[in-house]
Structures are given as structure tokens and as C-alpha cells.
Chains A and B, each alone.
Chain A
Amino acid sequence: DARVTQTPRDKVTEMGQEVTMRCQPILGHNTVFWYRQTMMQGLELLAYFRNRAPLDDSGMPKDRFSAEMPDATLATLKIQPSEPRDSAVYFCASGFHNEQFFGPGTRLTVL
């Protein structure tokens, strides 16, 4: 069945390193979202794209985070440089109209 896939599933890195997370949305979905989940803040929207165009990235720290969608089958979220406070689970979701379907997430640990 159609699913959102994310890689890597787990990432441990040291402070200052670059981290790239990838997402393959469900074929035919025109909207892709990036969310972050932490115990303290819960689920927060970072950015989203519609038809590959960025619509809102107000949830992202602009100085270190960037999100792109180079083609319809790939969305990326990059953190450079990473900091310990970026440790969280990052989810990609894709959708068409209102419904959003989440991937399994990337668990990021920054030491």
C-alpha cells in the first residue's frame, strides 16, 4: 500500500555537523509537510510545499534549517550546523486536500 517513506530512520551526530533528512511522499499527493516532535513542544509544523513550491516555512529556524523539494518524489530537510536542541523526531507527511499521512519519522540525536 502507498506510504510515506523517510530516511534515515535514526541519526546520531555531533554538534556542528550537517544533517540531511529525506522524504518520499505518496505518489499523487501534491502537498508535503515537515513536522518536529519533542516531549516539551509536541508536534510542530516546520514547513510545507504545494506542487513543489514552498508555501510556509515560518516554523523553521531560518539561519540553520532549509527545506527543499527538488522533484515530486523527494523532499529534503537540512540542518547546518546542528545543535543539541535540534534533537527530536522529524516527520514528513504528504496529502491531497486536507488529509495528511505521516511517515515513520527520523529520530535525530545531536550530541
Chain B
Amino acid sequence: GENVEQHPSTLSVQEGDSAVIKCTYSDSASNYFPWYKQELGKGPQLIIDIRSNVGEKKDQRIAVTLNKTAKHFSLHITETQPEDSAVYFCAATSGGADGLTFGKGTHLIIQP
């Protein structure tokens, strides 16, 4: 089955700086890679996703890149703000509407 590794487990950045979270996956058949943001006491919230036929996708201050050859994908947050503080999860799935395999999460801390 799929295995997703996520790094770092904790990331502290100054407000206004950029943050990068990286994930690798094992199953070359995986073709959908979402990112979720989870705040304390809430369910994961889908913030951006990318499919295997695309190398990069942007949505305002967040972007995701995918390298299929190396089997890794990354989340980039620019101009970080206090409300970006949360736990971020990457995930992968092999297509259709199958269940997601999640990374272990990154606790992002935005320092004022």
C-alpha cells in the first residue's frame, strides 16, 4: 500500500516569512495529492490539491509543487500570518475516489 512521509514535524517561522512542508510517497500509481489544515478541535480542512498531470498549482498565498519522478510534493505558504498557525497534513491516493493515506502532520507555528 501507499506510504506517505512528511517533514518537518514542527516548523516555526517569523510572521511574514515563507514556510515549506515536504512529503514523499511510495506508490507510483498515486495521482491525487491534497493538503489539509487542521485547527485545534476541528476536522481537517482541504486547502489545496494537485493532480499528477500538473507540476504546480497556486491559490493566493499557498502553492503546491509535485515531482512525479522523485515522488515528492511540497506545500509553500508565503507571507505567513498568525492565522496560518495549525497542523498541516499531506495525503495521497491512487485515483478514483479511494481513501487517502496521510502523512503524520506538521505543526506550523507563526512567531509574531
Contacts and interface: CB of A to CB of B under 8 A. Distances in A.
B102 interface: yes
A48 B49 CA distance: 20
A33 B96 CA distance: 13
B100 A99 contact: no
Given A31-B97, A45-B101, A98 B89 contact: no
SS class, residues of chain A in contact with chain B: strand
A98 B44 CA distance: 15
Contacts of A48: 97-99
Interface string B99-111: 1111111000000
Interface string A67-111: 000000000000000000000000101011111111111000000
Interface in B83-100: 89, 93, 95, 97-100
A50 B102 contact: no
B46 interface: yes
Interface residues of B, number: 22
B34 A102 contact: no
Given A56-B99, A100-B34, A43 B42 contact: no
A31 B100 CA distance: 12
B22 interface: no
Given A104-B42, A105-B43, A99 B101 contact: no
A88 B44 CA distance: 15
B12 interface: no
A9 to B, nearest CB: 10
